[in-house]
Amino acid sequence: MPVLRVLSYNVRSLRDDPAAVARVVRACRPDVLCLQEAPRLLLWRTRRRRLARRCGLRTAVSRRAGGLAILVRPGIGVGRRAHRRLSRRRGLHPRALSVAVLAVDGHQLTAAVSHLDLEPGARLEHAAEILALLSVYDAPVVLAADVNEEPVGPAWRLLAARLPDTGGTGPTFPARRPRKRIDGIFADPRLGVLASGVPRAPLPADLASATDHHPVLAEIALR
């Protein structure tokens, strides 16, 4: 039974310490890395490619709109890819959903990443859109998201009703003195969750300096 290490990480456009981001990712040894706030302005392609090289990963999906990317370790097959913009609200940042269907040791997995809005109404609307977009995929879904609200919020609860929250220990934001768990990984009930949470070792100093969020790491068993 293959086990995948899925890492969700908001890297704040690599404005803090890109080298520390790469060290955190390498220490976590992810098979799949889902990024929010990947660089999307000046030299965005170059900066994303440099991060992928530093992490020893390759790009599965990397689109500018929404600041999302999915990276995978060598040896994982990438099939269907998609990037969909979510409903736009005037005055708010554009939001999106990136998806890649992965092949691992004869199993398929739908990896998805998104970053929801600060505005509550938009968050809830986009959470419903994300679930509708993911419902067309046959392979079990793992969704990594910066939800921008805690698990008691309506958007988080809507996502978790369809794709259970993998859980985990520790708040994720802000990185230097984290108080809130606003980042999560949600997994299809057909998958097995072996562990999930904020990685604490071996690089606690890098977790604080790399970006303004802590990552979330989940070990997912493909059944």
**Could you read off the pLDDT of 97-155 as tens digits, one per residue?**
999 999 999 999 999 999 999 999 999 999 999 999 999 999 999 999 999 999 999 99
Angle between helices 120-134 and 154-162 (to 10 degrees): 10
Kindly provide the b/e burial profile for residues 33-59, where b requires at least 16 CB atoms within 10 angstroms of the residue's own CB.
Answer: bbbbbbbbeeebeebbeebbeebebeb
Q: Give 112's contacts (C-beta < 8 A, 6+ positions apart).
A: 34, 97, 98, 99, 100, 130, 134, 141, 142, 143, 144
Give the pLDDT confidence score for residue 22 in this predicted structure: 97
Beta-strand relationship, 216-221 and 3-10: antiparallel
Ranges of each domain in the chain: 3-221
The lowest-confidence range among 32-36, 165-169, 179-183 is 165-169
The residue among 16, 32, 25, 27 whose CA lies nearest residue 51 is 25
Give yes or no for residue 200 having a pLDDT over 90: no
Handedness of CA 8, 22, 60, 218 (dihedral sign): negative
CA–CA gap between residue 155 and residue 186 (Å, rounded):
12
Q: Average model confidence (pLDDT) for the chain?
A: 96
CB 212 within 8 A of CB 173: yes
pLDDT category at 202 given cuts 50, 70, 90 is low
15 Cβ contact list (under 8 Å, min separation 6): 211
The two tokens of residue 29 are: 């040894």
With beta carbons less than 8 A apart as the criterion, state whether 103 and 76 touch. Answer: yes
**Among 69, 63, 87, which residue's Cα sits nearest to residue 7?**
69
CATH number of 3-221: 3.60.10.10
Alpha helices per DSSP H over the chain: 18-28, 44-55, 120-134, 154-162, 204-209
Q: How far apart are CA 207 and CA 51, in angstroms?
A: 16
